[in-house]
Amino acid sequence: MAIRVNGRTFEAAPNPGQCLRTFLRELGLHGVKKGCDSGDCGACTVWLDGEPVHSCLVSAVQAERHEITTIEGLADGDNLHPMQEQFLKACAFQCGFCTAGMIMTCAGMNEEQRADLPAAMRGSLCRCTGYRAIEDALNAVTNIDEAPAAGKAVGASVGPADGRGIVTGTAQYTLDHDITGLLHLKVVRSPHAHARVLSIDTSAAKAVPGVVAVYTWEDVPDKLYDTAGHENHLVDPDDTRMLDQVARFIGQRMVAVVAESVGAAEEGCRQVAIEWQELPAVFDPSAAMQPGAPLLHEGSTLDGHLKRPASNILLEFNKSRGDVEAGFAQAHIVHEATYNTPRMAQAPLETHGSVTWIDETGVLQVRTSTQTPFLAQAKLCYLFDLHASEIRLFSKRVGGGFGSKQEVFTEDLCLLATLDTGRPVQWEFTREEEFYGAAPRHPMRVIVKLGALADGTLTAMKMDVTSNTGAYGNHGGEVLYASSNSMTWYRCNNKQYDGRAVYTNNVPSGAMRGYGAVQTTFAIECAIDELASALGIDSLEMRRRNVVVPGDDVGIERSPGDDVLGGYCLDECMELVETAMARGNGVEAPSGDDWRVGSGYAISMFESSPPTEHRSEASVTLLADSTYQVNVGTCEFGNGTTTAQAQFTATALNTTVDRVTVVHGDTAASGWDTGAFASAGLNVAGKAVALAAQALQLKIVNFASRYLGVEPNDCVLGADEVRSGKASVSLVELFAAAEDAGVTLAQARRAYGSPISNGFNVHGVRLAINTTTGDIVFLQVAHAVDAGTVINPMALRGQVEGAVVMGIGGAVTEWFQNGPRGEVLNPGLRMYRIPNFADAPKVEVYVPGTADKFGPFGAKGAGEPPIDPVAPAIANAIADATGVRFRDLPFAPPLIFAALQPTAAAQP
């Protein structure tokens, strides 16, 4: 049939059951993204006869009757559509994966729809921005600084280099390329929470037309490993097999089917027959620790990890200082309570996916959606006994991560199939697989006990954490370790932390923004509020009397540490938020008798580098055309670190950002980088880039001084030349001279995540809560963030807004539900509701801008932790409004109702 797309006619024959989205992508129109395939997210939005539709819901055959426009056809040649221009100028994106669909939606709205954006924007989800910048784009607000002068990039709102590609749909993400002969991989997942495979019959699957191979536990390397990525792999337990004979949770991958098409692979999966022996299962961590509980990793050899295999305890940490019992004895008041935090899905708009092939030189190529290329490469080397020179692993632009891509979930099976078949193999997660094939936030039960004098001075702090790591231990230890940090921002000589991570037959938990911190910040910041309230002390005053100040130790244990207060502004952050809340914003509560209004605050401190080893090697090279190339291993998934790295380079080398290219996320293109997590993209990789650029500046100046015969101290490097008084040499000439002299005008530097500077977040919220329905309306949200010296004001604001809205999601809209067998009840964006445009309030962002002594250019990476104090501030506001303390997240209306009206809720 003939189909008209972007004014061109394509001759192609879609399958009868094919949706327009996959059909358009097969035509090479990769600007049409997949986010959900259920009409909820809008990433695949295109126009049919000028009307926006979700192309995932449209029959490709029916679409033949219409004129189709995709993002690639929106611009008039090189002239961007006004909406593309507006998105670019507002920088209305971070990862950019939703952007093409957003632009097609916004550009296709009529006046009536424009007048009610909250309604019109349902069906257009963004996980990064918190929507403010998107609204700015719709209102033609400019947020970026066009072309800052040479050497002035740091501190300017520089837009990302990929911006134009993002708004035109041409920026490449993981699966946005065509490979001939591509095979597709799908897996059979366990329907049982705990069961042993007795037999697997793959004959019917292999007989499905198009199926090329079927792999079971018998076909994978006999190796135990862990899916999580850390510099030191020993922090994670080797408890996982690529395909196992035992299923430990509903959703565990058991059999892989590789076929010529996705449909054939799916049909192959349906034809696999597994005979099971069901085993007893346990879902609650407390029950899992009881004697006689079903054991998940019985008899395993998890050296140094499985602390008490007979209790399902993966790992325990105990830390203390002083004498807590003496501290409680000294206290005038003691508060003790239990707080529970749930699973939460990272829900990046781009699902996990990989494609693997063998290049013409025999090197294995792995193109994947990852935050940690080098760690993923190392893991694959281990699994398949490869040397690093035999495998290249890289990411293109990554469509959001939030921690979920600090794991190897798809790369290994693709590589197995490529090694076996010799052919390219791709595996793209469905949205549902993100919920049971990836790894959500660890649920925790946190018992907090605080003692204080009448004036509020803390005398003792005790925290007991039970973390539910699920069926496997990926990130279980490190998240638990990080959970103790929430005791560090209060000065108190008597502290005790006891924590344990426990195996259960649930979906394994993993890394997520606010890694271990979100859970215990909720507990501590609610508990401090409760204590303040009991003492009749103002909530922020209570904190002022107890927070760490310069000169204090910031550890729990009294041991040598590398945590430092490298730039202190917690006092200023609190004042900024308090002033903003006192000023108010004029927004009133909805009218009606059943609305109550309250305000709440919470604070948090974060480490601007990971606690375990983190290192990065970067290089900066002068090119023949007087531009610079940065090579660094970190990834770009909307975190903005490549833009910051370009700004560091441009500033150090006194050039403009458009003359800096950052090559990133590729094991073949740079030295080692541990990965983009825990703010390390700025603080570690960014520092390596800054050091390399500063070193190159010296090298260029020194070479130029020799070339010109002048003193180096008199030489000034500019964007085009090096000048010394009247003498000057262009960089083009200097480059050629250096080539002739056998000198490479390039420098590499390594950086480490030590010492670890601490930063701060303070959150204030005023909300209205409906005591009848349980509905919550945000009236004012104010947030102060300590990012050290601000490198990119717009990017920072975007990160804070996105993090705060994600925090609101975790506190209010996102309700991860599991059934009695641990099954995920709402594995999709329709029923697991990440905030949409209407759910996201305006966030007032305040930034002291106090320089950090250790960060590159005085900066602290601050994109991750603004989420930490959001949920407790909301809980404190709800308590202020209703007098009822909610100690369990989330605050979904039915749960609020159950707490506020227990009698009505209990009616049979």
Partner 1 sequence: MTDMLVPPAQDLFHDWRDGDTWLAGGTLIFSQPMPHLRRLRDLSDTGWQSITVSEAGLEIAATCGITELHEFKPPEHWRAGPFLRQSVEEYLASFKVWNRQTVGGNICASLPAGPMVTMGAALEAQYKLLAMDGSDRIVPAINFVTGDNTNILQPGELLRSIHLPMASLMRNYTLRRFSLTKHGRSSIYLVGTHDTKSSEILITVSAATIHPVHLRFTGLPSSEQVRKAVDQLIPAKLYFDDPNGTPAHRRHLTYVFAEQIRTELSAS
* Pairwise CA distance, residues 451 & 462, whole Å: 9
For partner 1, the closer of residues 291 and 908 by Cβ is 908
**Measured from the CB atom, is 725 or 819 closer to partner 1?**
819
Task: Decide: is 906 part of the binding site for partner 1 (CB under 8 A).
Answer: yes
Nearer to partner 1, 59 or 245 (CB): 59
Strands, DSSP E only, in 418-522?
425-428, 444-452, 458-470, 495-503
Which of 503, 637, 735, 897 binds partner 1 (CB under 8 A)? It is 897
Which residue from 815, 846, 857, 886 is in contact with partner 1, where contact means CB under 8 A?
815
The closest alpha carbon to 543, from 595, 621, 603, belongs to: 603
Single out the residue of 124, 418, 604, 642 in contact with partner 1 (rule: CB under 8 A): 124
Considering the complex, what minimum distance in angstroms separates the CB of residue 38 from partner 1? 5
Q: Interface mask (CB under 8 A) for partner 1, residues 155-184, using x and -?
A: ------------------------------
Rounded to 5°, the CA angle 106-110-112 comes to 115
Q: Which residue lies nearer to partner 1 by CB, 89 or 431? A: 431
Q: Is 105 in the site for partner 1 (CB under 8 A)?
A: yes
Contact residue for partner 1 among 97, 328, 707, 832 (CB under 8 A): 832
Q: Is 641 in the site for partner 1 (CB under 8 A)?
A: no
Nearest to 235 by CA among 315, 167, 123: 315
Distances from the Cα of 159 to the Cαs of 75, 269, 348, 441, 620, in angstroms?
20, 44, 21, 31, 21
Nearer to partner 1, 15 or 172 (CB): 15
The distance of closest approach from Cβ of residue 525 to partner 1 in the complex, given in angstroms and rounded to an integer, is 24
Least Cβ distance, residue 905 to partner 1 (angstroms): 5
Minimum CB distance to partner 1 smaller for 112 or for 625: 112
Binding residues among 4-63 for partner 1 as defined by CB under 8 A: 15-19, 37-39, 42, 45, 48, 51-54, 56-59, 61-62
Window contacting partner 1 (CB under 8 A); options: 176-184, 414-422, 559-567, 832-840:
832-840
Residue 701: count of CB within 10 angstroms of its CB: 18
Residues between 247 and 286 with contacts to partner 1, criterion CB under 8 A = 266-267, 270
Report d(CA 289, CA 273) in Å as an integer: 34
Whichever of 23 and 707 has its CB closer to partner 1, that residue is 23
Q: Of residues 185-244, which lie at the interface with partner 1 (CB under 8 A)?
A: none
Residue 813 in the binding site for partner 1 (CB under 8 A): yes
Decide if residue 908 touches partner 1 (CB under 8 A).
Answer: yes
Assess contact for 33 and 100: CB atoms under 8 A. yes
* Spatial separation of the C-alpha atoms in residues 24 and 45, rounded to whole Å: 11
Q: Is 907 one of the binding residues for partner 1 (CB under 8 A)? A: yes
Nearer to partner 1, 17 or 304 (CB): 17
Cis check: omega of the bond before 890, within 30 degrees of 0: yes
Q: Is 318 in the site for partner 1 (CB under 8 A)?
A: no
Q: How far apart are CA 368 and CA 434, in angstroms?
A: 15
Query: What length is written for the chain?
Result: 908
Would you state the torsion angle of the CA atoms of residues 799, 801, 805, 811, taken in this order, to the nearest 10 degrees? 90
Q: Please select the residue that binds partner 1; options are 12, 67, 123, 287, rule is CB under 8 A.
A: 123
Question: Minimum CB separation from partner 1 for residue 903, in Å?
Answer: 10
Q: Tokens at residue 582, please?
A: 């006192």
* Interface segment toward partner 1; rule CB under 8 A; list 332-340, 614-622, 799-807, 810-818: 810-818
Shortest gap between Cβ of 214 and partner 1 (angstroms)? Answer: 18
Q: How far is CA 883 from CA 337, 404, 419, 603, in A?
A: 16, 37, 62, 21
CB of 106 or CB of 302, closer to partner 1: 106
Shortest reach from residue 732's CB to partner 1, in Å: 51
Q: Report how far residue 756's alpha carbon sits from residue 565's, in angstroms, rounded to the nearest whole number.
A: 8
Least CB distance from residue 123 to partner 1, whole Å?
Answer: 2
Give me 219's structure tokens: 């076909």
Of 675, 681, 835, 858, the residue at the interface with partner 1 (CB under 8 A) is 835
119 binds partner 1 (CB under 8 A): yes
CB-based contacts of 765, cutoff 8 Å, min separation 6: 599, 600, 601, 778, 780, 781, 782, 870, 873, 874, 877
Supply the minimum distance, in Å, between the C-beta of residue 200 and partner 1: 20
Report if residue 817 touches partner 1, rule: CB under 8 A.
Answer: yes
In the complex, minimum distance from the CB of residue 17 to partner 1, in angstroms, rounded to a whole number: 3
- 898 contributes a contact to partner 1 by CB under 8 A: yes
Q: Which of 99, 483, 780, 836 binds partner 1 (CB under 8 A)?
A: 836
**Nearest CA among 435, 393, 416 for reference residue 243:** 416
Residue 62 or 286 having the CB closest to partner 1: 62
CB nearer to partner 1: give 601 or 897.
897
Could you tell me the smallest distance in angstroms from the CB atom of residue 831 to partner 1? Answer: 4
Dist CA 493 CA 321 (whole Å): 7
**Would you count residue 894 as binding partner 1 (CB under 8 A)?**
yes
Contacts with 750 (C-beta within 8 Å, 6 or more apart), sequence order: 615, 616, 617, 671, 688
Report how many residues bind partner 1 under the rule CB under 8 A: 64
Closer to partner 1 by CB, 198 or 831: give it. Answer: 831
Check residue 433 for interaction with partner 1 (CB under 8 A). no
| Nearest distance, CB of residue 464 and partner 1, angstroms | 30
Q: Does 118 bind partner 1 (CB under 8 A)?
A: yes
Gyration radius from the chain CA atoms: 27
| Closest CA relative to residue 143, chosen from 837, 801, 845, 793 | 793
The amino acid present at 642, given as its one-letter code, is T
Query: What are the Cα distances from residue 703, in Å, to 696, 698, 734, 811?
Result: 10, 8, 8, 57
Q: What would the x/- binding string for partner 1 be over residues 763 to 792, using CB under 8 A? A: ---------xxxx-----------------
Residue range at the interface with partner 1 (CB under 8 A); choices 140-148, 353-361, 575-583, 893-901: 893-901
Helical segments of 641-781, H only: 641-652, 680-683, 685-708, 731-740
The CB density around residue 51, as the number of other CB atoms within 10 Å, is: 11
CB closer to partner 1 out of 19 and 722: 19
| Phi, psi values for residue 274, rounded to 5° | -115, 130
Q: Which of 120, 652, 653, 751 binds partner 1 (CB under 8 A)?
A: 120
Q: Is 198 left (phi over 0), alpha (psi -120 to 50) or beta?
A: alpha
Site for partner 1 in 61-80 (CB under 8 A): 61-62, 65
CA distance 638 to 98: 11
C-alpha of 866 from chain center: 13
Go through 439-472 and write b for each residue having 16 or more CB atoms within 10 A of its CB, e for each that does not. Answer: bbbbbbbbbbbbbbeeebbbbbbbbbbbbbbbbb
Nearer to partner 1, 122 or 241 (CB): 122
- Nearest CB to partner 1, comparing residues 61 and 731: 61
199 burial (CB, 10 Å; 0-12 / 13-18 / 19+) is exposed
- 833 lies in the site for partner 1, by CB under 8 A: yes
Complex with partner 1: residue 291 or 902, whichever CB lies closer: 902
The residues that touch partner 1, with contacts defined as CB under 8 A, are 15-19, 37-39, 42, 45, 48, 51-54, 56-59, 61-62, 65, 105, 109, 113, 118-124, 266-267, 270, 772-775, 812-813, 815, 817, 825-826, 830-833, 835-836, 838-839, 892-894, 897-898, 901, 904-908
